[in-house]
Amino acid sequence: MKKILAVAVLMLASSLAIALEGDPIPGASVKVGRKPPGGPHSIAQGTTDAQGSYTFKDLPDGTFYVLFEVGGKSYEVFENEASVPIRVTPAVTPLPPGSSAGRESRIVTTPIVTTKSFGDVTATIEVLGNTIKATIAKQKNAAQTTKR
């Protein structure tokens, strides 16, 4: 329903651009670890669910990579499009000295989303505080542009 509505709205424009969503890849092995990637540096691992996602919670502060393994191929994401490494920060920080001793302040942030394309596979990494949500999908078609 959501895809049909999106296509109908786009058809009203004089220039139509259709970027089809990918098919989630369930059952992919996914690891998160500290740089350098692979090997014994992985600190957590899991398997993607039916939506092609796995969430790593309560990670320590630091710089990480996410490595997907699907059908004998590896797909690694360690930085965003601006070459900034994937960084996890604590979700709770202490208040400055002298202000309500023993209390904590929650950081209110917007998720940082990184998308990397590997030909027919796309990996999306969403970081919020000390949580990384990793998603992988196989693309149905490349983006197409059609003029009316």
Mean confidence (pLDDT) of the chain: 76
- Band (pLDDT 50/70/90 cuts) for residue 72 is very high
With H, G, I as helix, E, B as strand and everything else as coil, classify residue 102.
Answer: coil
Choice among 14-28, 55-69, 75-89, 113-127 with the minimum mean pLDDT: 14-28
pLDDT at 7: 37
Tokens standing for residue 106: 């929650």
- Give me the amino acid identity at 142: A
Where do the domains of the chain lie?
A: 22-141
Say whether pTM exceeds 0.85.
no
Decide which of 91 and 131 is more confident.
131
Decide which of 106 and 59 is more confident.
59
Q: Is the pLDDT of residue 127 over 70?
A: yes
Choice among 34-38, 40-44, 83-87 with the minimum mean pLDDT: 34-38
How far is it, in rounded angstroms, from Cα 138 to Cα 8? 24
pLDDT at 96: 64
